[in-house]
Structure 1
Amino acid sequence: MGWQSRTRTLQVFDTELSADTVEWCPLPQWSHVLACGTYQLQKGDDKTEEDSTAPNRIGRLYLFHCNPQPSFIPPLTETQRIDTPAILDLKWCHVPISERPLLGMATASGEIQLYKLMEPQQGTCGLECELRAELGPDRLALSLDWSTGRGESSDVRVVSSDSTGSLTVLSLGEASLTALCQWKAHDFEAWISAFSYWDTQIVYSGGDDCKLKGWDLRMGPSSPTFTSKRHTMGVCSIHSNPHREHILATGSYDENVLLWDERNMKQPLSETAVGGGVWRLKWHPSQEHLLLAACMHNDFHILHCQKAMEGQDAPCPVLASYILHNSLAYGADWSRLPLSNSMPPSPQEPPQTSIGLTQSTGHLRIQYESPTASFDTSLEDDSGQYIPDHTCLLPEKSPVPDPFTSPDRDAQSLSCLMATCSFYDHMMHIWRWDWSPEKEKMPSEPAPSS
């Protein structure tokens, strides 16, 4: 049986400042709430040395209400905007704190800021800054992750990485956000930090020194539990699978998504070339095999990871791609809002029965700009050769696999609401992905004999 994969744009929103992070609230009562963060580099008018070395980084936090029911009305309504320092990362806590949702924000001012979602009498949700903690002077907070990925509400902690290469673990108290420990983890920018959701004493980090590292907080941060150089360029995305124990996904400027078994970090389970630097990875809220990748110069892709997770050493097939952004693909997230399966395919976006990434026939010089504007990464060597040589191994088009494993899979379909954002064109898109079995054609009746 074949399967159809459709993407359909529902709404496009201009964030005015460069957009780099989007996050749907994971709590069921507030799953209609979406946050978007922006980052804008402003250089001073005066051509002084101080202005040239200390650019002003501004941001804005947007809050939206979403009603995705089929209609001619755009599903997204802006409910709040807050001017802030430039935002590098946003993450909602996976459990309510004091019965309210809590949004964490990593800022260019070197702070982790926590915003509580309030519901005034008029019924419109709004964010209020609740707590903040400084990571240290002369640094940008680059990422954060909560220890609550599997719904554990005891000992709530946050891990953050910053532009000095340091990691900080913070504990959330009743009225405080307190640093428990901080240590130098990477030689250059520590782009990403993440908890193992199955053992929250384990923290992972990735840096611009091309290293992926693990840390056991029980042993202290004096030395990592492992250091992997399997990625060949800066490691900028890590996400622990909340549904499948020991499974970890990592991404890099080297344009590869690697899947790992946390019990053996010497060799990845699989390697998938996605044709662009992998800035963010997000596992699906309920389907353990589906992984969303924001691939910078090469759009957004949904990967199917079942075979890799079962130990079959093969790239993860691409189930769907969303290619309508016109700039760097940075922010991406799955919504938990339920959707009807009645949405027709757009005439401009025909059904896709198979999707793959194919090798480009030409050569395009790619220069990645750091979102902190602190460095550029050229993907060419001195002789002009394209550095990520895996592009010749991009998976060819193949039948799209069935992502479901239940006995009733022939009757199943899946509809997902997505939010993605891109940088220089300052755009956020709301779109849906529909995955359904193809209807079998009835055999034609034989012509009656004369």
Structure 2
Amino acid sequence: MAWKSRTRSLQVFDTELSADTVEWCPVPPNHDILACGTYQLQKGVGEEDATPSRTGRLYLFEFQREGLMSPPLTELQRMDTAAILDMKWCHMPVSERAMLGMAVATGELQLYTLSESQEGGRSLQALSSLEVGAERLALSLDWSTGRLDSSNVRVVCSDSAGCISVLSLAEGALTALSQWKAHDFEAWISAFSYWDTQLIYSGGDDCKLKGWDLRVGPSSPTFTSKRHSMGVCSIQSNPHREHILATGSYDEQILLWDGRNMRQPLNESPVGGGVWRLKWHPTNQHLLLAACMHNDFHILHCQQAVEGSGEACPVVASYILHNSLAYGADWSRLSLEDPAPCSPPAAEPKESLAESRGHLRIQYESPTASFDTSLEDDAGRYIPEGIPAPSTTPTAGPAVNLDQDAPSLSCLLASCSFYDHMLHVWRWDWTPDKGPQESEQG
């Protein structure tokens, strides 16, 4: 069955500081709430060894579909903070409130609750914070509540010292349960298995993907995989399908795994850019959103790969209107059953490398600026060491075979990019089409 895929920009917002993480609130009735975090490296002035400072800002927005001629985002709050590396909403309310966790450059995990004033306005209020270690950056976090289990709410956090920390949340306060050295360099990412929250996955700049069982203790990992050839920087357990895990790396590959056999991935999908974040769709078990750093944002359909085809996941949609490193991306749970509004003016698409007059130099940086590599081909495109140059856009692959009665999809998404400090809100419409499979960008 052929499908017609279309992405359309709804609004572009300048965050002023470099934007690296966006998160829609998953807790009803706040699906219209969007948080965006920024990270700015301020280099020291004066002495050569002056310590750089890292500052950030947290934005809170409300999305409104009313009024086709007005921008849908309304800014509710902005708060200056330490530089934000990652943030995630708890998947369910805690003490009847939505809760946002942030991993920041001061080495802290910070918690905020979403509160509503008597006038009806919503804002984030600081609740609790805990330092996971001195002289390190907190790099990622994940909640144990991916399948809406509130029996034992915990948070896992990774940091720039290569450590993983597990914390519990009780009566609004964070308590450290355990911490261990997991990776030789930065531990870019950590994540729970949402199906068995005693299992934790971690990925680091040492190119290793590891598993940990909290019942056994962190003395040794349950597995160590070197299947990725560069730093592992994104991991997410599929909340809809047991045992399925997605990982991404600077090596520009997305790997799908069956957690019962971590010796070999189910499949490998090249996406032409370092995979900084991966997000499974909130209700569709087969759709995976990828923020691909140097190669935009893509939605992959993983059904055939999960069922054992061994083939790369086809890309069913791409959003290409950002002009810088694609870092943050997330799905909204807000319904978009109404007709889509007209697209307002958006940032101009990138000038193609072929049309560029000069040699385009791309700096391949981590958000912590802890390394800086520049490898290019004759056209100025980034090439990972020892890996063939990818095409600019991932191959769409064969037509996706879906059930004939599969419904149309209309999804609201947000994405952000780093050096141009831009937040984009956009929609994706995927509808059955009797003609040839096609994809268009609006």
Query: Common fold, TM-score beyond 0.5?
Result: yes
User: How much has 1:380 moved relative to structure 2?
Assistant: 6.5
Aligned partners of 1:380 and 1:387 also within 8 Å: no
Q: How does 1:45-194 map to 2 (within 5 A)?
A: 45-47=45-47, 49=49, 51=50, 54-69=51-66, 71-194=68-191
Superposed CA deviations along residues 61-98 of structure 1, whole A, max 9, x for unmatched, are 00000113461111100000010000000100011011
Q: Does 1:4 align with 2:4?
A: yes
Shifted more, 91-100 versus 67-76: the winner is 67-76
Take 1:169 and 1:83, find their aligned partners in 2: how far apart are those partners? 26
Q: How does 1:265-414 map to 2 (within 5 A)?
A: 265-340=262-337, 342-343=339-340, 366-379=362-375, 387=385, 389-391=387-389, 396-402=395-401, 404-405=402-403, 408-409=405-406, 412-414=407-409
User: How much has 1:43 moved relative to structure 2?
Assistant: 1.8
Take 1:78 and 1:95, find their aligned partners in 2: how far apart are those partners? 23
Comparing both chains, which one has the higher relative contact order based on Cα–Cα distances under 8 Å and sequence gaps of 6 or more? 2
Take 1:318 and 1:93, find their aligned partners in 2: how far apart are those partners? 29
Aligned partners of 2:383 and 2:389 also within 8 Å: no
User: How much has 1:219 moved relative to structure 2?
Assistant: 0.4
Take 1:365 and 1:231, find their aligned partners in 2: how far apart are those partners? 25
Aligned partners of 1:70 and 1:343 also within 8 Å: no
Change in CA separation of 1:432 and 1:388 when aligned onto 2, cut-off 3 Å: farther
Partner of 2:351: none
User: Percent of aligned pairs with the same residue?
Assistant: 70
Change in CA separation of 1:151 and 1:379 when aligned onto 2, cut-off 3 Å: farther
What is the letter of the counterpart of residue 25 of structure 2?
A: C
Change in CA separation of 1:308 and 1:69 when aligned onto 2, cut-off 3 Å: farther
Q: 5+ residue gaps in structure 1? A: 350-359, 442-450
Superposed CA deviations along residues 261-307 of structure 1, whole A, max 9, x for unmatched, are 00000000010000000000000000000000000000000000001
Change in CA separation of 1:374 and 1:163 when aligned onto 2, cut-off 3 Å: same
Aligned partners of 1:273 and 1:391 also within 8 Å: no
Superposed CA deviations along residues 117-163 of structure 1, whole A, max 9, x for unmatched, are 00011111100000000011100000000000010011100000000
What is the letter of the counterpart of residue 401 of structure 1?
A: V
Take 2:173 and 2:193, find their aligned partners in 1: how far apart are those partners? 24
Partner of 1:36: 36
Shifted more, 392-401 versus 198-207: the winner is 392-401
Q: Secondary structure at the match of 2:29?
A: helix
User: How much has 1:388 moved relative to structure 2?
Assistant: 5.2
TM-score (norm 2): 0.91
Partner of 1:355: none
Superposed CA deviations along residues 188-224 of structure 1, whole A, max 9, x for unmatched, are 0000000000000000000000000000000000100
Take 2:53 and 2:167, find their aligned partners in 1: how far apart are those partners? 27
Superposed CA deviations along residues 22-67 of structure 1, whole A, max 9, x for unmatched, are 0000012110100000000112332252x2xx21100000000011
Take 2:15 and 2:105, find their aligned partners in 1: how far apart are those partners? 18
Which of the residues 202, 206, 224 maps onto 1:205? Answer: 202
User: How much has 1:19 moved relative to structure 2?
Assistant: 0.2
Aligned partners of 2:272 and 2:390 also within 8 Å: no
Aligned partners of 1:15 and 1:38 also within 8 Å: yes
User: How much has 1:440 moved relative to structure 2?
Assistant: 6.5
Q: Does 1:248 align with 2:245?
A: yes
Q: Secondary structure at the match of 2:304?
A: helix
Aligned partners of 2:10 and 2:341 also within 8 Å: no
Aligned partners of 2:329 and 2:414 also within 8 Å: yes
User: How much has 1:175 moved relative to structure 2?
Assistant: 3.3
Q: Does 1:13 align with 2:8?
A: no
Take 2:253 and 2:108, find their aligned partners in 1: how far apart are those partners? 30
Superposed CA deviations along residues 338-394 of structure 1, whole A, max 9, x for unmatched, are 002522786999xxxxxxxxxx9x99765411100111234469xx97525254698
Take 1:134 and 1:347, find their aligned partners in 2: how far apart are those partners? 42
Number of matched pairs = 423
Q: Does 1:436 align with 2:431?
A: yes
Take 2:386 and 2:394, find their aligned partners in 1: how far apart are those partners? 15
User: How much has 1:429 moved relative to structure 2?
Assistant: 0.1
Q: Secondary structure at the match of 1:29?
A: coil
Aligned partners of 2:202 and 2:209 also within 8 Å: yes
Aligned partners of 2:21 and 2:38 also within 8 Å: yes
Take 1:8 and 1:179, find their aligned partners in 2: how far apart are those partners? 43
Change in CA separation of 1:187 and 1:235 when aligned onto 2, cut-off 3 Å: same
User: How much has 1:176 moved relative to structure 2?
Assistant: 1.6
Change in CA separation of 1:374 and 1:245 when aligned onto 2, cut-off 3 Å: same
TM-score (norm 1): 0.89
What is the letter of the counterpart of residue 369 of structure 1?
A: E
Change in CA separation of 1:135 and 1:429 when aligned onto 2, cut-off 3 Å: same
Aligned partners of 2:11 and 2:344 also within 8 Å: no
Take 1:91 and 1:304, find their aligned partners in 2: how far apart are those partners? 24
Q: Secondary structure at the match of 2:54?
A: strand
Q: 5+ residue gaps in structure 2? A: 347-353, 437-442
What is the letter of the counterpart of residue 32 of structure 2?
A: H
Change in CA separation of 1:390 and 1:345 when aligned onto 2, cut-off 3 Å: farther
Partner of 2:23: 23
State the superposition RMSD in angstroms.
Answer: 2.5
What is the letter of the counterpart of residue 319 of structure 1?
A: V
